[in-house]
Structure 1
Amino acid sequence: MMEAIPLLMFAVVCGVLLLGYPVAFSLAGTAIAFAAVGSATGAFDPVILNALPSRLYGTMTNETLMAVPLFVFMGVMLEKSKIAENLLNSMALLFGRFPGGLGISVTVVGMLLAASTGIVGATVVTMGLLSLPTMLKRGYNKSLAAGTICATGTLGQIIPPSIALVLLGDVLSSAYQQAQIDMGIFSPKTVSVGDLFVGAIVPGLLLVVMYIAYQFAVAVLKPTHAPAVDTKQLKEDIQDSSSLLGSLVPPLLLIFAVLGSILGGLATPTEAAAVGAVGATILALSKKQLSIIQLKAVVQSTTQVTCMVFMILIGASVFSLVFRGYGGDEVIQEVFNDMPGGVITATFIVMVVIFLLGFILDFIEITFVVVPIVGPVLLAMGLDPIWLGVMIAVNLQTSFLTPPFGFALFYLRGVAPQGLKTTDIYKGVAPYIVIQLILLALLAYWPGLTTWLPQAMYG
């Protein structure tokens, strides 16, 4: 009976979330309720809660998590500076003359925006407003256009610097240390956010190549779905057709400043995020897109997102503490150990659960609720923490696209013209979901796609 309580806790919190209550308070409220009932019945030792203040203090003073508001600030500032608009116009003029060229332009710009901002919602909305009308006007198939924008908009989930990777890196580092302590290693190693960034580079680029290959195949096999564009007509539609060099240099400089400083060992992810925030502000200022009103809007948006993230993290800390107090980690470990196939089956089950939860929960909730529970057990079974982190990130990215609850679908639906049906969006993302599942299978079969570059750079 006692072994069922942790599983019941998890089921109850999922039920409360489905009712629409705020995530942070759902996690903390469910945990406190179970702790109160357990204390009254003698099933839970309330002394365990004495560790809560130190946990919360450690969360609020965590230097790694300081990267979150800085990356959010950078992304919101870039969204206001029209960098994406100028870059998309230039790429469209460059590639639009070829079959499938507009779709490839959207993918390349989405990749650069992902490496510049790391915010999925902002990228999908920006690309939907800027490129979707042009693609539809130039004869692109509605489903192909919608699917391309949704899929490329979610690249910010896997291509560093990604807020998802920052949060995953912090959680996995704690899980990795806990796994080593459980195995009797009292000088545990750690895995950093920078390690996860490096591990995600090859899978992220591979995913972009697979997207472009699919669009090229559609253009060859179904030319009417992705026709070439008359660049003279395209120029008439584009009011601000900046030069390719002038549009490409600013985001590339910012990417080099942020990622280059991390990969070169010159800065931690938090320090690089600060460089990115300052760089984005300078770019906005240079384009005369910065004012007191705009700066106030950027700061307000950054504060809202940051408060949401940290409130969820506090609620998740309370939940995980009570969960472990009931012996939930031991229950999960026993369940995984008893599975036929060992670590392979356990990993597969976890990936399926994360994929399904991605229908109803944001990546932040899944990172803070599910990963601390299953992470230490899977890592104790011998999985590489970098590989596991990238697998989870790609998995969550896939759930962003999956109907009917994929967040990217909602973002695009909110800015799409009335002529685009919801079913068109669903049909368009289906091939990209298959592509991402293929990438997951490749990473599972060849873990070296994730672990090779970190080993080559850092040993």
Structure 2
Amino acid sequence: MEYLSILLFVVVCAVLLLGYPVALTMAGVSLLFAGIGILFGAFDASDLLSAPSRLFGIVNNTTLIAVPLFVLMGVVLEKSKIAEDLLVTMSALMGRFKTGLGVSVVLVGMLLAASTGIVGATVVTMGLLSLPTMLNRGYSPQLATGTICATGTLGQIIPPSIALVLLGDVLSSAYQKAQLDLGNFSPDSISVGDLFVGALIPGLILVLMYLVYLFFVSRFSPSQVPTKGQENEHADLFRLLIALLPPLLLIFAVLGSILLGFATPTEAAGVGALGALLLAALKKQINKKNTAYIVQETTKVTSMVFLILIGASIFSLVFRGFGGETLLKEIFTNLPGGVVTAMLVVMLLIFLLGFILDFIEITFVVVPIVAPILIIMGVDPVWLGIMIAVNLQTSFLTPPFGFALFYLRGVAPKSVKTEQIYKGVIPFIGIQILLLVIMSIYPETVTWLVDIVYP
């Protein structure tokens, strides 16, 4: 009976590849398998009795209230033209350097990631604003597109990130389940705030490695960058400060309130959403058209997230009913190499699933199954969460199905070939894999700051 759970997982992936909606596929296929299992005596119908309470728990989850608030914050900032002001000002200031525009794109992308946390919005915004300018300045299409795609995915790892909010909620439940399985009834748990703090150092390391790569290309492959910088008489520090101040204040209001213990991530999301609305109002970007767009996009993304979560919850319930969790636990504990091999298998599985599934589906489908097993085997849940987040960020870039590649392809000029976009992201994929290796060898890059903020 346990192997029916594996068949369920394979069938769900196969149906998804046919193009059917994710949430409905997971729920529909799972209920179909459950019905067949009940008919043939391979599934206990009582296992489905907890479904209503589980679904009510999803929509009643206070942690997940942060999702629509962070989405609202990101959509408002997207329409307020803060990114445009930042990029123009920073590019003007750093224009005298050969890689000045590339560095500006990375730094502005980092600030956008810390402000919006939405990968698609960042890639599209940076693609529209900076890609034509980079190409006109003399950057190779590969370097320009690779930089924009990689920078856009920083929203996965740099807090406040929607991916970390969802991972935090899932890992909290996984941690509590693992403690119960171990016979430990301690009330201790992990939170979204733990993941936010744990992601800070890896996120900054990743940005630094991007910048080092740009300088490396400038030094050893000068044909990919402009022959010289471009002076701009309008560049000045005052304009840069004026452009930087709003997003920095917003980032401090959100992250600072969490790190200093003034607010939970959900409360901080409310502060961020209100701050974004105030910034947009000050820039006179709140009008009927923009308000309609903001409400529609926020509702659409939030509805998608919760519908996928409901579908994934039903899938998880049926998967466990067929004994899939027990089967995986036996497989993982009997692997040669123990926890190291188990982590490698999970990371590889998540990386491969990233080709066909969005981070939301992977977070809700795969993580609840494998995380309790890994935590029982001794893996730190916060470190596991950041490893998964960086891994999913890498899958956003990987050809041919990387979501960031499709986002940029949709707004890139026709003169830029898809092959050039694919080639451009390969070095950045290598950089992200290097970060995974660094975090594997030195887990302190994740846990050190967490231990200081939450002793």
* TM-score in terms of structure 2 length: 0.98
Structure 2 counterpart of 1:231, one-letter code: E
Quick one: distance in 2 between partners of 1:245 and 1:87?
Answer: 9
The answer to whether the Cα contact below 8 Å between 1:99 and 1:220 also exists between their aligned partners in 2 is: no
What's 2:24 paired with? 25
Q: What's the counterpart of residue 423 of structure 1? A: 419
CA distance in 1, matches of 2:368, 2:357: 16
For 2:297 and 2:110, the matched residues in 1 are separated by 23
- Native 8 Å contact 1:90 1:242 kept in 2: no
> Take 2:412 and 2:255, find their aligned partners in 1: how far apart are those partners?
33
Q: What's the CA shift for 1:220? A: 1.4
Amino acid at match of 1:168: L
Deviates more, 1:434-443 or 1:2-11: 2-11
Match of 1:64 in 2: 63
Which residue of the partner structure matches residue 253 of structure 2? Answer: 257
Counterpart CA distance in 1 for 2:232 and 2:189 is 55
> 2:89 touches 2:243 (CA, 8 Å); kept in 1?
yes
- The answer as to 2:209 corresponding to 1:213 is no
Deviation at 1:109, TM superposition (A): 0.2
Distance (Å, rounded) in 1 between the aligned partners of 2:313 and 2:158: 27
**1:399 maps to 2:398:** no
Match in the other structure for 2:177 = 178
Counterpart Cα distance in 2 of 1:191 and 1:106: 34
- Kindly indicate whether residue 128 of structure 2 is the aligned counterpart of residue 132 of structure 1: no
- Asked whether the equivalents of residues 27 and 316 of structure 1 are also in contact (C-alpha less than 8 Å), the reply is yes
Query: C-alpha separation between the residues in 2 aligned to 1:231 and 1:53?
Result: 64
Q: How many angstroms apart in 1 are the aligned matches of 2:177 and 2:50? A: 15
Mapped partners of 2:219, 2:382: distance in 1: 37
Letter matched to residue 250 of structure 1? P
Alignment of 1:79-90 (within 5 A): 79-90=78-89
Structure 1 partner of 2:3 = 4
Aligned residue for 2:429? Answer: 433
CA–CA distance in 1 between the matches of 2:201 and 2:209?
12
Q: CA offset at residue 99 of structure 1?
A: 1.9
- Confirm whether residue 366 of structure 1 aligns to residue 362 of structure 2: yes
- Please say if residues 79 and 285 of structure 2, whose CA atoms lie closer than 8 Å, have aligned partners that are also in contact: yes
8 Å Cα contact 1:181/1:188 also seen in 2: no
Aligned match of 1:442:
438
Q: How does 1:26-65 map to 2 (within 5 A)?
A: 26-65=25-64
One-letter identity of the residue aligned with 1:347? M
1:188 CA drift (Å) = 4.5
Residue 408 of structure 1 is aligned with which of 404, 408, 420? 404
Deviation at 1:373, TM superposition (A): 0.8
Deviation readout 1:358-392 (Å, 9 max, x if unpaired): 01110000000100111110111010000000000
Matched, 1:319 2:315: yes
CA contact 1:84–1:113 (8 Å) conserved in 2: yes
CA distance in 1, matches of 2:17, 2:182: 36
Is 1:377 matched with 2:373? yes
Aligned 1:269-288 pairs, distance under 5 A: 269-288=265-284
Q: CA deviation at 1:113?
A: 0.3
Alignment partners' CA distance in 2, 1:186 and 1:53: 26
Aligned mates of 1:406, 1:284 — CA distance in 2: 31
- 8 Å contact kept, 1:118–1:161: yes
What SS does structure 2 have at the residue aligned with 1:11?
Answer: helix
Shift of 1:232: 3.5
Shift of 1:224: 3.0
Which residue does the alignment assign to 1:306? 302
Task: Please say if 1:75 is aligned against 2:74.
Answer: yes
Shift of 1:292: 2.1
* 2:92 paired residue number: 93
CA distance in 2, matches of 1:251, 1:3: 51
Query: In 1, distance between residues paired with 2:220 and 2:48?
Result: 62
1:76/1:302 contact within 8 Å kept:
yes
Q: Where do 1:100-111 residues align within 5 Å?
A: 100-111=99-110
Question: For residue 289 of structure 1, what is the aligned residue in structure 2?
Answer: 285
Structure 2 equivalent of residue 169 of structure 1: 168
Shift of 1:49: 0.9
Contact 1:154–1:408 (CA under 8 A) maintained in structure 2: yes
Query: Cα distance, 1:225 vs. partner?
Result: 1.6
Distance 1:392 1:299 in 2: 31
CA distance in 1, matches of 2:58, 2:159: 23
**SS of equivalent residue, structure 1 residue 350:** helix
Distance 2:329 2:230 in 1: 60
Residue 352 of structure 2: which of 330, 352, 356 is its match?
356
Secondary structure of 2:49's match? helix
Return the offset for 1:189. 2.3
Alpha-carbon separation, structure 2, partners of 1:106 and 1:293: 28
Q: Determine the structure 2 residue equivalent to 1:189.
A: 188
Residues 172, 389 of structure 1: 8 Å contact kept: yes
Gaps of 5+ in 2: none
Identity %: 66
**Alignment-derived partner of residue 328 in structure 2:** 332
SS in 2 for 1:243: helix
TM-align CA RMSD: 1.3
Letter in 2 for 1:60: V
Could you list the runs of 4 or more consecutive aligned residues of structure 1 that deviate by over 6 angstroms after TM superposition? none
Mapped contact 1:180–1:188 kept (Cα < 8 A):
no
| Counterpart Cα distance in 2 of 1:136 and 1:229 | 14
What's the counterpart of residue 229 of structure 1? 229
Is this contact kept in 1: 2:93–2:232, CA < 8 A? no
> Deviation digits for residues 375-413 of structure 1, max 9, x if unmatched?
110111010000000000000000000000000000000
Distance in 2 (CA, whole Å) between partners of 1:7 and 1:242 is: 60
Q: 1:297 offset after TM fit, Å?
A: 1.1
**TM-score (norm: length of structure 1):** 0.97
Gaps of 5+ in 1: none
1:213-241 Cα deviation digits (max 9, x unpaired): 000111112223222332239x6xx9xx9
